[in-house]
């Protein structure tokens, strides 16, 4: 019985929950979180599975001044946010400017690792009960003819405290 309980706990702690879908004119974003029940000291991950629409690309980190796609979470006293993990990018060649820029034009995933702090201030903030993790996925998209205004995709997860 103890083995089954430990196995069930392991499955639940690593379970990913149904992703939230957002469609914009530029891309489709599936946002998910590794757990919706949290406790001090726990590590979590947010994942953003992003599919650019046909002929669209967004900017990856690189040697350019364009707006890089980014995760911007609202500050919380109970949360430590690690830098976003970016996959390798592709080089897009702007023929008109003869410019080569790091982009994502095919499906890709961003991962944002988080840690629920185990401090007095964090425990006090979490003591009130359910909390919300929210923020934005920001980006600028372009197709082969037009660069569109920067966009924001809201992301929000309701979390319960163990």
pLDDT at 18: 63
Is residue 153 domain-resident?
yes
CATH number reported for the structural domain that contains residue 29 in this entry = 2.60.40.1250
Supply the range of the domain harboring residue 83: 16-161
Non-local CB neighbours of 146 within 8 Å, separated by 6+ positions: none
pLDDT tens digits, 117-142: 999 999 998 998 899 999 999 999 99
With a cut of 80, say whether residue 34 has pLDDT above it.
yes
Report the number of distinct structural domains present in the chain: 1
Which of residues 54 and 2 earns the better pLDDT score? 54
pLDDT at 95: 84
Is residue 128 domain-resident?
yes
Phi–psi pair at 123, nearest 5 degrees? -60, -40
Is residue 7 domain-resident?
no
Phi–psi pair at 11, nearest 5 degrees? -60, -45
pLDDT, averaged across the chain = 88
With a cut of 90, say whether residue 55 has pLDDT above it.
yes
Q: What is the pTM of this model?
A: 0.84
């Amino acid at each position: 019985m103890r083995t089954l309980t430990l196995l069930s706990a392991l499955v639940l702690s690593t379970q990913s929950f149904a992703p939230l879908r957002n469609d914009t004119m530029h891309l489709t974003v599936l946002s998910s979180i590794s757990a919706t029940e949290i406790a001090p000291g726990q590590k979590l991950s947010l994942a953003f599975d992003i599919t650019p629409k046909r002929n669209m690309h967004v900017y990856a980190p690189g040697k350019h001044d364009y707006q890089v796609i980014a995760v911007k979470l609202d500050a919380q006293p109970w949360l430590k946010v690690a830098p976003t993990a970016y996959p390798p990018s592709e080089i897009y060649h702007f023929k008109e400017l003869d410019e080569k820029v790091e982009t994502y034009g095919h499906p890709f995933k961003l991962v944002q690792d988080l840690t629920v702090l185990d401090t007095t201030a964090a425990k006090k903030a979490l003591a009130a009960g359910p909390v919300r993790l929210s923020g934005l996925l920001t980006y600028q998209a372009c197709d082969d003819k037009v660069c569109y205004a920067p966009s924001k995709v809201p992301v929000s997860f309701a979390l319960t405290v163990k």
